[in-house]
Structure 1
Amino acid sequence: MHTDDRREKILQAALEVISIHGFHDSPMSVIASQAQIAMGTIYRCFQNKESLIHAVYQTLEQRFHLAVTKNLPADLPLQERFLHIGRFFMDYCQRAPMDFRFLEQFQNSPFGATYRRDRILGPSGSGFLHGILIEALTEKTLKPLPIEILCALFFGPLICLLRDQDLGFIVLNDSLIDKTVAACWDAIRK
């Protein structure tokens, strides 16, 4: 088996195991077993568990970023772009619940502390969302708040609803998602 194939198997196994059991209850031996590889193979691909966790996060982040930017029509008005991003975010997380669970754990753990906002907005403001937010603030479409607060007001409720659905507390349908994304837009628009 090629090294890249082994690496992908390890990343997928780590995603599966960690999304179910969490970081602390996912030893490398269980990840190796899930990937159906020898324990030493993991350490040939990743220096340690922390580097594996960061690699899974970066893979998921790239996957989401590529998907959302690929499906975001640049010619949409700002409000429609926000609604599109919010709806796409909800759809993506519902279609990929393991991704959502892993990302939630990562962003709310010491592993994700250094990434939390920078990785959403991009280093030095280079993220896709940062550009849209700056454009909306420049056009005075949004409330004059720091970008981090605008992100929290827009995405925070969506994340909370996805978490509640994942826990079985609520059932989201298309209509409810559309109304919720619109309400999140209303929270940040001027």
Structure 2
Amino acid sequence: MSKPDKREEIVRAALEIIAEHGFHGAPMALIADRAGVGAGTIYRYFENKDVLITELYRELEERIYPVITEGYSEVKAFRERFLHLGTALLKYFINNPLDFRYLEQFHNSPYGVAFRRDRLLGEKEGCDVYRELFDEGIAQQVLKDVPLPIHFALAFGPLLSVARDHILGFITLDDLIIARTIEACWDAVRR
């Protein structure tokens, strides 16, 4: 196994184990075992478990961004851009349940709380297509006059819930239900 392959296997194993067992249930030795490498090998690529966890998040974000922005155009109407991004994100989660489960844990952990705070306050750069869209909608008075974190909650709370319920087998999302869900999210944030 070459060096890039080893790193890739470590990342894949970490994603699987953390999605299945959470951060605390994913010791480095178990990740190494699942990746088929020695425990010390992980430390050649990641200084410690915290670095592995945050790097994995960044890699997932980099993987998601091109998928949700494919076909996205800033010249389209605001509503159409909102619907595009919401639909693309929900479909990504449905098609990548391990990524979704990891991201859910990350965002509800101290790692994710600090990350979200920095993003919402504009102190961290990255894939900010949603923040830019919401900032524009607030400035143009297309969106309700509420703080940015409330827009995120209204737009993504329902989306995350239905993605989770689909992944758990409580509901089956097809294109029609996905469209209705994203429309409902739009109704929640629009003026």
TM over 0.5: yes
Runs (5+) with no aligned partner, structure 2: none
User: TM-score, normalised to structure 1's length?
Assistant: 0.92
The equivalent residue for 1:146 is: 147
Runs (5+) with no aligned partner, structure 1: none
Calculate the aligned-residue CA RMSD, in Å.
1.8
The equivalent residue for 1:171 is: 172
Contact 1:143 1:189 in 2 (8 A): yes
Per-residue CA deviations over 1:117-147 (Å, capped at 9, x if unaligned) read: 5447863677221221122112211111111
Q: How far apart, in 2, do the equivalents of 1:173 and 1:120 lie?
A: 31
Q: How far apart, in 2, do the equivalents of 1:91 and 1:120 lie?
A: 24
Q: Report the CA distance between 1:116 and its aligned residue.
A: 2.2
Q: Could you say what secondary structure the match of 1:15 adopts?
A: helix
Q: How far apart, in 1, do the equivalents of 2:72 and 2:187 lie?
A: 20
Per-residue CA deviations over 1:47-78 (Å, capped at 9, x if unaligned) read: 11111111111110111123223331222100
Q: Report the CA distance between 1:23 and its aligned residue.
A: 1.2
The equivalent residue for 1:3 is: 3
Cα–Cα, structure 1 residues 36 and 120, in superposed 2: closer, same or farther, change >3 Å?
A: farther
User: TM-score, normalised to structure 2's length?
Assistant: 0.91
The equivalent residue for 2:22 is: 22
Cα–Cα, structure 1 residues 37 and 125, in superposed 2: closer, same or farther, change >3 Å?
A: closer
Q: How far apart, in 1, do the equivalents of 2:30 and 2:66 lie?
A: 30
Contact 2:72 2:81 in 1 (8 A): yes
Q: How far apart, in 2, do the equivalents of 1:54 and 1:160 lie?
A: 23
The equivalent residue for 1:63 is: 63
Q: How far apart, in 2, do the equivalents of 1:88 and 1:121 lie?
A: 25
**Segment of structure 1 superposing worse, 99-108 or 4-13:** 4-13
Cα–Cα, structure 1 residues 51 and 72, in superposed 2: closer, same or farther, change >3 Å?
A: same
Contact 2:106 2:112 in 1 (8 A): yes
The equivalent residue for 2:81 is: 81
Percent of aligned positions with the same letter in both sequences? Answer: 45
Q: Could you say what secondary structure the match of 2:151 adopts?
A: helix
Aligned residues: 190
Moved over 4 A (4+): 119-122
Q: How far apart, in 2, do the equivalents of 1:121 and 1:8 lie?
A: 32
The equivalent residue for 1:186 is: 187
Contact 2:159 2:181 in 1 (8 A): yes
Contact 1:87 1:178 in 2 (8 A): yes
Q: How far apart, in 1, do the equivalents of 2:174 and 2:121 lie?
A: 28
The equivalent residue for 1:157 is: 158
Q: How far apart, in 1, do the equivalents of 2:168 and 2:188 lie?
A: 25
**Segment of structure 1 superposing worse, 115-124 or 55-64:** 115-124
